[in-house]
């Protein structure tokens, strides 16, 4: 508990600490900031000396245990872009897709609106045998309506659809034994021919229902059926095309005297692992290996026209580049690309300032009590009052200039989420033992998609354990530490148990969260991310024990990708994104933190994604955030170099994650470790939007993905030119703001996320 010094001394200490800790950047006025610091300090002094009513959330903070309130984060002296983060790829791993593979249709219609025509088509697709028994024949059935998706499987093609309980075959290529390679190809071809044709399970389930029973189902249950119907069947023609492509792959690998293993897929996207002995990194069981052994800079392994097979001997990175080049030149593939390495989108902490004086009050605007929300929709989590990013936008008490309006949404809509809504977080996994997560009812079974055991950092490859064991790459690098990035991101969405009197609150309190681990030590492979996206949406199965299929039984409505790669959108990633969005999932992407155009970043620059740039506590674009025409909107990402709300703490986003060098926000005393931390990055902005879309889906369960996005966009707060500007010297190639020749505009979407602008839902539209 804080001691009560004299008012004069207290005010002097607070004003000095706040004025000294606030960082001045851009076009801020020093006098204005000093006055603001003095105003907040005086308000805080009045609060501590008993002149004002203490906010109930502050009482929660003081009453909470150390474990429930200690946090990490200091005001940074400055932000520096890490110039070393050039694109890398996994040595010996290639992604390819043969030409002329038709899109793999889901078993049923797209997860869209339930119009009368679509329901009729949906029913006809599954009840035609019943109709035939009544005297109608399949040939006499009406043609699919115009509203039905073009890729819906026709009845004539149904005989070529395979449902499996075992994973697809893998082909081995041995340059030293052509007969062995041919035998492996023939075995895979024979296995495909012998696959048992079977009616999809969902079709059998629906046939047990009458049409009246189906029509009478609640909207939420119909939506669940549609999501399960996304599951991609196995089409023989797709597998045959992949098997046929192995001939040209075998010739190419023989040219460079390397072997390989080729994994087939339901949608045609193959992963080729090459090496002198064709060994797969998924089988790696040795001690920790230097990342330089299995990762390479994209610009350090360029296969030119003059590169000869003899030049690649002993250089597997160069061999990888040459195989990619030759396969592309063969004309047999839609795309061939290296297995690029993606990184999380935390902003690296470079130069920390001394920890601020945390006795400067804990309220974001002075801590005076304002009766804004009913108790049931105001979280009692002790750190809630420090989460400025969820607060309503404004300058009055209890608001934040950079807030996203979650408070008003919860209250006005009467919902904090719905159990029928699922958000998948494709990231570093989740700290399952985190005290604010371990007991959360929101966490659903996830999957570890990290295939390379050297990157997995958990002793094996893919499995059902989505726990985050840490991802530190180079322990000798300054500020190296495990990021626990996925835990922070998922906590913002809603993984943290909200209103439980512990720690922080999440944006969507009552939705299902599916953690999908795709990033491990040193980042995540593109091939793993592609599979993670498809598995999250419920399109493909994972491989379980005994080579059995394991499906995601909670297919995602929203998939959060707080990841990034410096480079144009890889074709295989675009393929995966298109697959899931065509079937009704929404993909939300962080814009990236390299303060460059999103057209040079992925997945931010991919099509069919909601790209989110980061704003600070003022509602302005942060200096680290990427920008560009692909950005749809701004959302709170935080800025650890600022303290615009004057609470003596950095204006980062506060969420769940294990951290060290922490402090007690009540006493200011140091704490060795804690479970909550301020972070900054477009990684923090994206989950705010994912949570917002989940809340909108809970509010209106029947809304399509396009309707949800349109509703979100319609409520954005229009931005002003200076909100997305920066010094022209820092952002070359941008356009000067009229009247401010030193400031240049950076395209950052049409506005700022503000859920307070969403109109009240129709009667019966939501659910707590």
- CATH number for 715: 3.40.50.200
Q: Give the integer Cα–Cα distance in Å for 421 and 534.
A: 17
Site of tokens 């509203």: 147
Q: Does a structural domain hold residue 68?
A: no
Q: Are 330 and 248 in contact (CB under 8 A)?
A: yes
7 is a domain residue = no
CA distance 95 to 395: 51
Residue 616 lies in a domain: yes
- Of 168, 31, 142, 79, whose CA–CA distance to 726 is shortest? 79
Task: State the residue range of the domain holding 753.
Answer: 351-757
> In angstroms, rounded to a whole number, what is the distance separating the alpha carbons of residues 144 and 197?
24
- Residue 628's region, left for phi above 0, alpha for psi from -120 to 50, else beta, is left
Q: What is the CA radius of gyration of the chain?
A: 27
Q: From the candidates 485, 651, 690, 745, which is the catalytic residue?
A: 485
Bridge partner residues of 88 (DSSP): 297, 341
**Contacts of 194 by beta carbon, 8 Å cutoff, 6+ apart:** none
Reduced to 3 states (helix: H, G, I; strand: E, B; else coil), residue 125 is helix
Which of the residues in the chain have pLDDT under 70?
1-59, 77-85, 104-166, 196-207, 277-289, 292, 348-376, 762-768
**For residue 550, which of 646, 631, 449 has the smallest C-alpha distance?**
449
Residue 73, both tokens: 């984060």
623 within some domain? yes
Domain count, the chain: 1
Give me the phi and psi of 166, to 5 degrees please.
Answer: -120, 150
Q: Is 485 a catalytic residue?
A: yes
Instruction: Please state, in angstroms and rounded to a whole number, the distance separating the CA atoms of residues 693 and 753.
Output: 11
Q: What is the number of other CB atoms lying within 10 angstroms of the CB of residue 115?
A: 12
Q: 367 in a domain, yes or no?
A: yes
Cis peptide before 603 (omega within 30 of 0): yes
Supply 522's token pair: 């040193």
The residue written with tokens 């726990």 in the block is: 467
Taking the model in full, what pTM does it have? 0.83
User: How does strand 76-78 pair with strand 351-352?
Assistant: antiparallel
Query: Which member of 68, 339, 392, 427 is catalytic?
Result: 427
For residue 289, tell me if it sits in a domain.
no
What is the model's pLDDT at position 17?
A: 34
Q: Which residue has the tokens 């480079």?
A: 567
Tell me if 459 is assigned to some domain: yes
Q: List helix spans (H) across 629-767.
A: 682-699, 705-714
pLDDT for 73: 84
Is residue 683 annotated as a catalytic residue, yes or no? yes
């Amino acid at each position: 508990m804080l001691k009560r010094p004299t008012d004069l001394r207290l005010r002097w200490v607070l004003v000095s600490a706040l004025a000294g800790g606030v960082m001045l950047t851009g076009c801020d006025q020093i006098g204005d900031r000093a006055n603001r610091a003095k105003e907040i300090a005086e308000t805080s002094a009045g609060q501590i000396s008993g002149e004002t009513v203490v906010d109930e959330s502050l009482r929660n903070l003081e009453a909470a245990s150390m474990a429930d309130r200690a946090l990490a984060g200091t005001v940074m002296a400055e932000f520096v872009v890490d110039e070393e983060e050039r694109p890398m790829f996994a040595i010996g791993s290639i992604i390819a897709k043969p030409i002329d593979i038709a899109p793999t249709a889901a078993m049923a219609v797209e997860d869209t609106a339930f119009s009368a025509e679509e329901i009729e088509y949906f029913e006809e697709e599954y009840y035609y045998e019943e109709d035939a028994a009544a005297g109608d024949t399949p040939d006499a059935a009406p043609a699919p309506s115009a509203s039905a998706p073009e890729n819906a499987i026709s009845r004539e093609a149904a005989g070529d659809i395979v449902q499996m309980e075992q994973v697809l075959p893998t082909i081995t290529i041995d340059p030293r034994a052509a007969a062995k390679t041919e035998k492996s190809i023939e075995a895979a071809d024979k296995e495909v021919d012998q696959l048992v044709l079977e009616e999809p399970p969902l079709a059998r389930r629906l046939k047990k229902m009458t049409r009246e029973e189906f029509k009478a189902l609640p909207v939420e249950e119909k939506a669940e059926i549609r999501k399960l119907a996304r599951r991609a069947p196995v089409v023989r023609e797709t597998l045959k095309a992949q098997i046929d492509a192995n001939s040209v792959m075998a010739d190419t690998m023989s040219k460079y005297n390397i072997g390989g293993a080729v994994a087939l897929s339901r949608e045609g996207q193959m992963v080729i692992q090459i090496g002198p002995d064709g060994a797969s990194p998924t089988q790696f069981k040795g001690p920790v290996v230097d990342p330089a052994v299995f990762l390479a800079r994209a610009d350090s392994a360029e296969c030119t026209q003059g590169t000869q097979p003899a030049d690649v001997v002993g250089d597997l990175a160069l061999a990888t580049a040459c195989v990619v080049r030759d396969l592309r030149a063969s004309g047999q593939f839609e795309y061939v690309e290296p297995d690029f390495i993606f990184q999380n989108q935390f902003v690296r902490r470079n130069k920390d300032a001394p920890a601020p004086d945390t006795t400067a009050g804990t309220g974001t605007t002075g801590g005076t009590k304002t009766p804004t929300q009913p108790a049931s929709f105001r979280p009692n989590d002790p750190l809630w009052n420090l989460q400025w990013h969820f607060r309503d936008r404004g300058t009055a008490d209890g608001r934040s200039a950079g807030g996203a309006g979650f408070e008003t949404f919860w209250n006005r809509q009467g919902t904090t989420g719905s159990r029928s809504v699922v958000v998948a977080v494709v990231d570093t996994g989740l700290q399952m033992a985190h005290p604010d997560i371990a007991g959360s009812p929101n966490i659903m079974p996830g999957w570890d998609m990290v295939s390379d055991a050297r990157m997995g950092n958990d002793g094996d490859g893919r499995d059902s354990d989505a726990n985050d064991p840490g991802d530190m790459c180079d322990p000798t690098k300054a500020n190296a530490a495990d990021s626990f990035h996925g835990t922070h991101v998922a906590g913002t969405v809603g993984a943290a148990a909200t209103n439980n009197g512990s720690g922080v609150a999440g944006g969507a309190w009552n939705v299902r969260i599916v953690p999908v681990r795709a990033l491990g030590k040193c980042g995540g492979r593109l091939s793993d991310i592609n599979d993670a996206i498809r598995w999250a949406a419920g399109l493909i199965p994972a491989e379980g024990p005994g080579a059995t299929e394991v499906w995601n039984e909670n297919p995602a409505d929203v998939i959060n990708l707080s990841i990034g790669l410096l480079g144009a959108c890889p074709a295989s990633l675009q393929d995966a994104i298109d697959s899931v969005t065509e079937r009704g999932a929404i993909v939300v992407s962080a814009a990236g933190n390299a303060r460059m155009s999103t057209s040079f970043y992925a997945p931010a620059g991919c099509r069919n994604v909601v790209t989110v740039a980061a704003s600070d506590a003022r509602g302005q674009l942060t200096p680290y955030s990427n920008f560009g025409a692909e950005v749809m909107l701004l959302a709170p990402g935080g800025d650890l170099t600022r303290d615009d709300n004057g609470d003596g703490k950095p204006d980062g986003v506060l969420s769940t994650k294990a951290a060290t060098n922490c402090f007690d926000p009540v006493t200011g005393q140091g704490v060795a470790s804690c479970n909550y931390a301020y972070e900054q990055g477009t990684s923090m902005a994206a989950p705010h939007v994912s949570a917002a879309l989940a809340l909108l889906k809970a509010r209106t369960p029947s809304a399509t993905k396009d309707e949800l996005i349109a509703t979100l966009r319609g409520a954005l707060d229009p931005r002003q030119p200076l909100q997305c500007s920066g010094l022209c010297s820092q952002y070359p190639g941008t356009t000067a703001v009229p009247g401010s020749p030193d400031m240049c505009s950076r395209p950052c979407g049409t506005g700022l996320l503000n859920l307070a602008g969403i109109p009240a839902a129709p009667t019966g539209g939501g659910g707590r």
